[in-house]
Amino acid sequence: MVDRTERWLGLLEQEGRGALRLDNLIDLARAMRIDDLSALVGRRFTATALEMPEHPAVPEIRHALTHSLLDLVPDAPPGSPAHLERRIRHAWDAWHVSRTQNTQLGLLLPGLLRDTAALTRATTGAQRRKAYAIATRVYLIGQRFAYGVRALNLAVQFTDRALLAADMSDDARLMALAGWGSAMTSLTAQQPLEAEETALTALRHVARPASTSDASVRGALLLFAAMGAAGDRRTADAWRHWDEAERVSAEIGRHVDVETMFSAVNVGIYAVAVNMECGRTSDAVTSAADLDPKEMPSSNRRATHFIDLARTYDKAGDRDAARGALLDSVKASAETIAFNPDGRRLVAGLAGAVTTPDDDIANLAERLGLL
């Protein structure tokens, strides 16, 4: 038997939820004693559409994450905390602005990881908490990279490091922020209930926000709680969390949080995503119509939003609109779709279904290794 709950199996049978995940297909094939996956999914199944490529920077980043703690303790930190803070800001700028954000972080992270680990190990006394606060932020950048390239094991490592460093920093906002990163990792791993529970637990660290920054982290946690509930098909809970996040966005005005991108426009983006996860395709399209993509300050967030839109249009049977949204995603970020399983699946489906030549989609499918 497949090691799943009756609820999961019921959703699979009724809605097809999770059916295209490769690990789920393998579990089902084993339970049914089927040797060939094409017997389950037909000829359109291609491993390249479902399997993520490994980003070239992953091995070096993994090596830096591990070996930075195994190196000998330096006599003095390699750089001042102020210098590391500037490098952290530069890394976030690269993530939000660049169309090749994963590659940019891949270039910056190894050195950041080594120097941050050296700082925490060489610092003593009252400055030690500040060093761990810096380490928390660096590990969260690493978690964002690992999330962006779907390197799940690496994302889990960064999540754990961020939580431990935040605890050592004795900073409530950083504990909440590390919990936000952990919830993101759970969502990526298709564990929506775990994501919701983690987000709601982390909320306790910013229960009474003392600043706009605290409120932004609280709002971002509520959005992840909404996505977790939506992924678990508990629509009422999803919208209750989303409504509270919208109230937070109204309180902070035009502020955009650098680390979480929480803002009023991001709340609107999640309205599309929550509707999509809850199976409300027409509502998702309506929510999307109220958004101006130009107001989204993050290239990765814009690109991901367009992939969500493409999913929505595909569900509604509008292939032309789905095609346009996928191409808009590539314009926003050249890399996001390469590591997004939904985007890859949609490109593979469109490339295989056209009856007339579609050079743009065919070229995109070829670049993604789907042809």
Q: Give CA–CA dist 297/312, Å, rounded.
A: 22
3-class DSSP state of 202? helix
Digit-coded pLDDT (tens) for 269-302 = 999 999 988 888 888 888 888 888 778 879 999 9
pLDDT over 70 (residue 46) = no
Q: What is the mean pLDDT of residues 52-68?
A: 93
pLDDT class for 31, splitting at 50, 70, 90? low
Instruction: Please give the pLDDT value at position 280.
Output: 86
Give the residue with greater pLDDT, 13 vs 355. 355
Mean pLDDT, the chain, whole residue set: 86
pLDDT for 140-151, tens place per residue?
999 999 999 999
pLDDT for 32 equals 58
Q: Indicate the pTM of the whole model.
A: 0.83
Could you give the 3-state DSSP secondary structure of residue 131?
helix
Q: What is the mean pLDDT of residues 154-169?
A: 96
In the predicted model, is pLDDT for residue 21 greater than 50? Answer: no
**Residue 246 confidence (pLDDT) above 90:** yes
Neighbouring residues of 182: CB distance < 8 A, sequence distance ≥ 6: 159, 162, 163, 198, 202
Report which of residues 282 and 176 the model is more confident about.
Answer: 176
Question: Phi-psi region for residue 317, left (φ > 0), alpha (ψ -120 to 50) or beta?
Answer: left
HSE-up of 302 (CA within 13 Å, CB side)?
22
| Beta-carbon contacts of residue 241 (< 8 Å; ≥ 6 apart) | 196, 222, 223, 225, 226, 229
Q: In the chain, what is the greatest distance between 2 CA atoms, to the nearest angstrom? A: 69
Res. 243: pLDDT tops 60: yes
DSSP state of 296: -
Please report the pLDDT score of residue 17 as a whole number. 44
Per-residue pLDDT band for 50 (boundaries 50, 70, 90) equals: low
